[in-house]
Amino acid sequence: MLTLKIKKGPFTSNIKWFCPRPKIWEAFGFSEYDQCLYQNKLFGFRYESFYTIHVDITADEETLLANCRKDTRYKIKRARREGLQFKIGNDFEKFVKFYNEFALSKNIATIKKSDLELFRPYIHITQAIYEDEIMVTHTYFFDKEIKRACLLHTASLFRNCDDSKMRQIIGRANRFLHFEEMLYFKKLGANIYDLGGIAVDDLNEDRAKINHFKEGFGGELVKEPYYYSYPLYLYVCFKKLFNK
């Protein structure tokens, strides 16, 4: 279990990841439980369903690849033949710049360096490199206690690339990067590779494509709810209303 402390205005919020069960007395403070292992609703907490895919990475490399869908497996192998390289990054500012350019092209929220700093020393930056250029980059945090690596951010050049051949390379690079990450975190002692969430019963075309992409690595669909203490939930709601 990981615990983070985040300032929210004059208050400090305690965020706990992968907790077995929320503490009932924390319902009176600013508490958030992300991807909780407990499943039932609890008095004093706002309950939100969350689903993700877990890939068991205790198997050997050959088995992990065989568990991928045929199309995913082919693209991973082809990316390797094309000379894609897997690298570990260490520059938060460089990642934030790359990610925010991607986020603006997709009209999603940008991030700050401080958002990544919260996860030190648990955060890992990964990159898929082609001809000395970053094609795709991800961030993960790794919980050594429960042996799980969890995807936080993903960004690519895809949205800013008009060349169809390069877009195909980027698509293969993303699959390649995920697979190489499985092997990387397996070496670090992880048992579970968490793909960072999946949309369930969502008819949105973009999210359906993301679902299909993530399902291509095999794995098991699991439910891990979020719990928010009502003081925290109401504060966030009022803040959103005020910012409008």
pLDDT tens figures, 5-32: 877 667 778 899 999 999 999 999 999 9
**Alpha-carbon 124 to chain mean position:** 11
178, 68, 195, 172: CA torsion to nearest 10 = 40
Q: Look at residue 16 in the predicted model and tell me its pLDDT.
A: 93
**Alpha-carbon 49 to chain mean position:** 16
Q: Walk me through the domains of the chain, giving residue ranges and CATH numbers.
A: 2-49+224-243 (no CATH), 52-223 (3.40.630.30)
Say if residues 96 and 111 touch (Cβ distance below 8 Å): yes
Percentage of the chain surpassing pLDDT 70? 95
**What are 29-82's pLDDT values in tens digits?**
999 999 999 999 999 999 999 999 999 999 999 999 999 999 999 999 999 999
What's the distance, Cα to Cα, between the start and end of the chain in Å? 35
Q: How far apart are CA 159 and CA 13, in angstroms?
A: 35
Q: Look at residue 13 in the predicted model and tell me its pLDDT.
A: 82
Nearest to 175 by CA among 58, 89, 65: 65
- Whether 244 shows a pLDDT value over 60: the answer reads no
HEC profile for 8-73?
ECCEEEEEEECCCCCCHHHHHCCEEEECCCCCCCCCCEEEECCEEEEEECCCCHHHHHHCCCHHHH
Could you say which DSSP state residue 200 is in?
S
As given in the structure block, the two tokens for residue 168 are 């195909």
What rounded mean pLDDT belongs to the chain?
91
**What are 128-138's pLDDT values in tens digits?**
999 999 999 99
Nearest to 158 by CA among 130, 139, 126, 194: 130
Q: What is the sign of the dihedral through the CA atoms of 134, 195, 34 and 198?
A: positive
